[in-house]
Amino acid sequence: MTETYTRAHARDMDAHDDLRMYRDEFYLNHESVYMDGNSLGLMSKQAERSTLNILESWKTQGINGWTEGNQPWYYLSESLGEKMAGLVGANHEEVIATGSTTVDLHHLVSTFYQPEGKRTKILADALTFPSDIYALKAQLRLKGYDESHLVQVESEDGHLLNEADIIDAMTDDIALIVLPSVLYRSGQILDMKRLTQAAHERNIPIGFDLCHSIGAIPHDLHDWNVDFAFWCTYKHLNGGPGSVAGLFLNEKHFGVTPGLAGWFSSAKNKQFDMEHTLTPATNAGAFQIGTPHLLSAAPLIGALDLFNDAGIDRVRRKSLELTDYMMSLIDHELDGYGMVICNPRNHDQRGGHVYVEHPEAARICKALKMKNVIPDFRTPSGIRLAPVALYNSFEDVYDCVHTLKMIMDDALYEQFENVRDVVS
């Protein structure tokens, strides 16, 4: 065995890791290896502190917490938007923390989907996360159209999308385009700049779901001229289960009437005038609806501070090193075991996780959990493994792959049914 595939080599890479100090900022179970950060990130100590601080301000200040203290609640959504702006390549007024992923998608589509004449269709893809498709179909029904007005670009291999096929589908009957930045199964990164340029050449607005890219890869949404984007914050951003989502609205659209207006859509200086005519905020804040969910936003304060301290470029560099190492170990240790790596290997096209397919994937994932490795199963036969730059080590990757090999060698997976759990 060459040095590359030894535990000593993994430990040597950890010793030279310039992000290794952040591992101590997270609550890790040292009896297990957590490889599911692309589904739910771990809690950091800073996120815990910021949550306790919000609770303390509620306890000690009551309603005065809206405008007083070190983090006034009234401006928290904007403050969090500013913290996220650098992660998506936006001006701080273009980003707001609000809602949930699907609610934000509904809001943005209700605003940007304006069918007229022959332009009545929405363009999406066949590999995107189901929730996005549910929302798009619902928005079509609300505008009086059936599902035939949803165009989904197919994949040739079931894993990757051909961007040329997406561009070819931008026909003159398309009124709106909504695509993922990173495919949730295969981890493929779509070229958002190229697709945005192609859409705008055809006068079609375009938006992206960043759920599997924010906190894992850099973005330049403003410079790419993307119209809008939306994302969750509980995966790579480690904001906690159900943490408040975020959205981007290109400044060229400031002043557009929000499709789902509400109490917090107001300009801050007008909100408490109690008028029945809305004066929307003149930035992304107009895309808030109701009162911010303070206790679901609180962990983000600390979680985002860690990202802004570490820097997304360093996070991306280590993420690529971790996934490169994981794939090299899988190639070396599991050759002949039926494991097929289905994510792109090219750095420009690969997100923050490794996607492996095997016919026994569901039961293999159960066996991994039994052996204290936490993966993510995706039906029908996918194993997602996400070594996260801020808290996973190269030795974690080594242990994950060698545990997987032991499970296959000893056929430990055979004691489980090859069906998913309720939550997989």
Q: Determine whether the annotation assigns residue 292 to a binding site.
A: no
The number of helices, as runs of H, and strands, as runs of E, in the chain is 12, 13
Q: Report the alpha-carbon distance of residue 287 to residue 108 in Å, rounded.
A: 8
Nearest to 334 by CA among 383, 392, 393: 383
- Determine whether the annotation assigns residue 102 to a binding site: yes
SS3 155: coil
Q: Residue 106 is which amino acid?
A: H
Q: Say if residue 5 carries a ligand binding annotation.
A: no
Query: C-alpha dihedral over 339, 342, 347, 352, to 10 degrees?
Result: -80
Rounded to whole angstroms, how far apart are CA atoms 158 and 6? 34
375 is in an annotated binding site: no
**Is 224 marked as binding a ligand?**
no
CB 308 within 8 A of CB 248: no
Backbone phi and psi for residue 257, each to the nearest 5 degrees, phi listed first: -70, 120
Please indicate if the annotation marks 168 as binding a ligand: no
Ramachandran bin of 349, using left for φ above 0, alpha for ψ from -120 to 50, beta for the remaining angles: alpha
Phi first, then psi, for residue 386 (nearest 5°) are -120, 95
Q: Tokens 């405008």 belong to which residue? A: 67
For residue 212, say whether it is annotated as part of any ligand binding site.
yes
Q: Which residues of 174-209 are buried (b: 16+ CB within 10 A; e: fewer)?
A: bbbbbbbbbbbbbbbbbebeebbebbeeeebbbbbb
Report the alpha-carbon distance of residue 212 to residue 163 in Å, rounded: 18
The answer to whether the annotation marks 403 as part of a ligand binding site is no
Tell me: is residue 131 an annotated ligand-binding position: yes
Binding residues for pyridoxal 5'-phosphate: 101-102, 129-132, 209, 212, 234, 263, 291
Binding residues: 101-102, 129-132, 209, 212, 234, 263, 291
